[in-house]
Chain A
């Protein structure tokens, strides 16, 4: 119930392509779905986040699509660049006294020039 399942584990895309990373959850109490980006040797950093009352959120080249009925959400990166190469984590959290974030297992994305 507390898991967030993420796929694929790794992804290689040519520059300009649109990588898509998918996540699924089971706990319907989750109400906040952030994506974190992690570069090698660095800590994760918040990239974009969505709440279940909207089906899509865009920030620059990054878009989250959210399907509440299917309990799935995905990250799309438009016009991907080599600088987007990183590990991406989806996550979920719900209303609680500490809102512990449940992270997916991560997707290692490589954008080839």
Chain B
């Protein structure tokens, strides 16, 4: 199993440009998550999904959109990039979270720089 894979690894965007961060998992996990990690700020949840066709906002959703058309894929869309979106983005997945104790498995991250 490859686990959680993310592409690209690094990207530079100009202000106002758009892009899609790709995330794929091959563990047949129901739950998927997008986080951003800023220095000294921990991980902030952007969006999450509990299954195909179902998504919901996390703590910091403004400026982002997601979709979940399949169990495996959970892309994150930035429509109008802003310098405040410069960060490292992590995708994660878990089998189920009904008990509140399922391990989240993280991808390697995408480093995004908006200039």
Contacts and interface: CB of A to CB of B under 8 A. Distances in A.
Interface string A37-50: 00001111110010
Interface residues of A, number: 27
B100 A96 contact: yes
A96 B99 CA distance: 8
A105 B105 CA distance: 19
Interface stretch (A61-69, A72-80, A87-95): A87-95
Contacts of B33: 100
Contacts of A100: 33, 45, 48, 58
Interface of B: 4, 31, 33, 40-45, 48, 50, 56, 58, 90, 92, 97-109
17 contacts: A31-B100, A41-B109, A42-B109, A43-B4, A43-B90, A43-B109, A49-B103, A89-B42, A93-B97, A96-B100, A97-B50, A98-B31, A100-B58, A101-B45, A105-B40, A105-B41, A105-B42
B97 A44 contact: no
Interface string A3-42: 0001001000000000000000000000110100000011
Interface of A: 6, 9, 31-32, 34, 41-46, 49, 51, 89, 93-101, 103-106
Tell me which of A96, A99, A104, A106 has the highest count of chain B C-beta atoms within 10 A of its own C-beta.
A99
A75 to B, nearest CB: 15
B97 A98 contact: yes
Given A95-B100, A96-B97, 4 more contacts: A45-B106, A96-B100, A97-B50, A100-B58
A63 B4 CA distance: 28
Given A100-B45, A106-B40, A94 B104 contact: no
A101 B42 CA distance: 12
A32 B101 contact: yes
